[in-house]
Structure 1
Amino acid sequence: MTDTIPVLDLGPLRAGVPGALDRLGAELRRAFTEVGFYFVRNHGIGQPLLDETFEAAERFHAQPLDAKLAMRINEHNIGYMPLRGATTRVNAVGDVALPNANEAVFFKRELPADHPDVLANVRFRGRNQWPAGLPGFREQVLRAMDAFEGLALSLLPIYARALDKPADFFAPFFTEPMYTLRMSHYPQQEPTAPENEFGIAPHLDTSFMTILAQNRIPGLSLRLSTGEWVDAPAPEGALLINGGMMLRRWTDNRFMATPHRVINRSGKERYAIPFFFDASYRAVMAPITADGSPGRMEPITYPDFMTGYQRSNFHHAAEKEEKIELQGA
């Protein structure tokens, strides 16, 4: 699989080797114009932290359902989403499938109670919900999000060079980046399950960047430009990274957003800890064109994009919108 998905070695860049940034930029450009995914090695995130974060996800989902529902997902996309609580629609690939056979809990940047966005109830800028009976869980999640954010920020100069921009081009757009850690549980899918039931149906991510930690339980596959679906196991010690619809839009469709899916027929419970990384909340993302001309799409901000996505895919958000419309009728 590493013959198909490029592997970027961050070691030379972290060591300050001359020319490393430009070489990585060229490799990233190839990754996003041919595949849409790439691996990184020598990324600086220790395996113990990743292992402990997978264990935290398992601890969370092992709780009784009532304990998880006590922090049910809200309009900020923070909290617990029950099994089959989402159907992939707006970013679906092919026909819309059955509701996704996974449960998940979502966390964002930890904001204080007196933060202006919290006080103003700015959408997607709410406070995290934390489980009451899991000592050390909050601290582990915050450590993981800090590590993933640090890696994502360190990759931005590579993205800039891949687009023939100065290394610091993206810095003003990521002064306080939006991000989401999703801790998912995929129960075993029975062989008799319907063909259009997936752990997560074929879809495109919404993100600028998604960081996927190596999962010891198989199930993730991606679709190549040929239409072939292939499994995506990471080389030992590597992380898998892909771009989503936000990256594709921002680069004026020059960089790919590659379809992927999860099917858990491993006979075991599967957990995942994807980290979705985006620009700052109020950053205006105008298409980055090859020649500096206006792009095909209008400039957009994170809340503009995510509001429509959430309403289309997450059942709780659609229900909330319907209630608001009825109350206003």
Structure 2
Amino acid sequence: MEIPVIDLTPYVDAVSGKFTCDEHLHPELKSVCLEVSRILRETGALLVRDPRCSTEDNDRFIDMMEKYFEQPAEVKRPHARPQQHYQVGTKPGGIEIPRSLVDLEMQKKMRAMPKDRQPIIPTGPDLRSQYMWRVGPRPSKTRFQELNSEPVIPEGFPEWKKIMDSWGFKLLSTVEAVAEMAAIGFDLPKDSFTNLMKLGPHLLGPTGSDLVSHGEKGAVFAGYHYDINFLTIHYKSRFPGLSIWLRNGEKVEVKVPDGCLLIQAGKELEYLTAGDCMAGMHEVVVTDSTLRAIEAAKKENRSLWRVSSTLFSNVASDAVLKPLGHFAKSSLAENYPPMFAGDYFEKELLVINLKEKDGA
């Protein structure tokens, strides 16, 4: 199935200070909100068009990140912050372990899939590198300091902060609009999700995958996994390779239309809806499409680093994760007991090797 594209322009125009609750929303816009929640529920993914996010913005960002990732490993190494769970600064390849490598239940489900829908079962840590840049303010007091750390600015990039902040805030604005629309579509107050996102540890987290060293078909840059945050948003990458699994089990190699953004449901959204909207599974692997893009880039003498234009939005670390509103009455709500979002997040980071065991 094809994922339809939702144009956010009418909603963005309508909510520019003109209404405070969803009862005042025009019926046509309310029907679009119902469509947003339906698509997220049925597929775990959403394609949107937002007039505030342009291809030029994305190109400026990716151009800079290509230059950053192309640097030698020893230049990038000082920007790593393992003591802060790699939640700011650089994360080298070979550190993060895909959950499907250590989750036996997940492996069982993978092997039970039809052959044409199976992911490539990872044999080791992810090959991709990543850079985490905080977007938006953080709380002055928090139980989870490592998740809310100060950003790291690499030397040699005078435009770094301006480009990262500008693009990060634009992507976050898109996520906030979708979060409001989804809340309305799920029959919750429109600010149900965005209130929980205030002062959240939102991260602009571009990945860098070296297609020179690992450009062979089947190379796994990000093994089969779900995202542990609320909603993940991507602008179009210059190299394909991202595949997602819809809720019906169908595997789709993502083709993001020009000028559009892909949004994926994360585990925090699953938690808040008691599993009504499940976190989407995905992987990033070198495919035939990737190989064709590599050949085209070589002919045009372009960078052979695959950079993702990705932002991870999050529930605030000190907020409580629990099913909201009518979802609390779901028969599945007991599978999602109340807990601080920061506790949940650190527990997940431990599994994928980004947080050291206490006392280690």
TM-score band, normalised by the shorter chain? 0.7 to 0.9
Runs of 4+ in structure 1 deviating by more than 4 angstroms, as ranges, are 90-93
Q: Distance in 2 between matches of 1:291 and 1:262?
A: 32
Q: Distance in 1 between matches of 2:164 and 2:244?
A: 27
- 1:287-302 matches, within 5 Å, as 287-288=323-324, 290=326, 292-293=328-329, 295-296=333-334, 297-302=336-341
**Identity of matched residues, %:** 20
C-alpha deviations, 1:219-270, integer Å up to 9, x for none?
Answer: 1111234434221111121100011111111100000212111013423431
Q: Distance in 1 between matches of 2:158 and 2:253?
A: 36
**Aligned-pair RMSD on alpha carbons?**
2.5
Deviation at 1:20, TM superposition (A): 4.0
1:78 is the counterpart of 2:85:
no
Which of the residues 202, 219, 228 maps onto 2:224?
Answer: 202
> So what's the TM-score if we normalise by structure 1?
0.86
> So what's the TM-score if we normalise by structure 2?
0.79
Name the SS of the counterpart of 2:329 in structure 1. coil
Deviation at 1:32, TM superposition (A): 1.9
Match of 1:308 in 2: 347
Q: Distance in 2 between matches of 1:261 and 1:44?
A: 28
Say which is worse superposed, 150-159 or 49-58, in terms of deviation: 150-159
Q: Distance in 2 between matches of 1:19 and 1:236?
A: 29
Q: Distance in 1 between matches of 2:340 and 2:6?
A: 29
1:247 is the counterpart of 2:255:
no
CA 1:65–1:111: 2 relative to 1, 3 Å? farther
Q: Distance in 1 between matches of 2:83 and 2:147?
A: 7
Unaligned runs of 5+ in 2: 15-24, 108-120, 295-303
C-alpha deviations, 1:125-151, integer Å up to 9, x for none?
Answer: 111111011121122111111112222
Q: Distance in 1 between matches of 2:310 and 2:50?
A: 19
Match of 2:172 in 1: 149
Match of 1:21 in 2: 29
Deviation at 1:67, TM superposition (A): 1.7
Matched length: 313
Paired residues of 1:6 and 1:27 also in contact (CA < 8 A): no
Paired residues of 2:268 and 2:321 also in contact (CA < 8 A): no
Paired residues of 2:274 and 2:328 also in contact (CA < 8 A): no
Paired residues of 1:207 and 1:246 also in contact (CA < 8 A): yes
Match of 1:5 in 2: 3
CA 1:20–1:43: 2 relative to 1, 3 Å? farther
1:283 is the counterpart of 2:306:
no
Q: Distance in 1 between matches of 2:154 and 2:215?
A: 30
1:123 is the counterpart of 2:146:
yes
C-alpha deviations, 1:160-199, integer Å up to 9, x for none?
Answer: 11211122333432332321111211122343x7x6x511
Letter in 2 for 1:203: H
More helix by share: 2
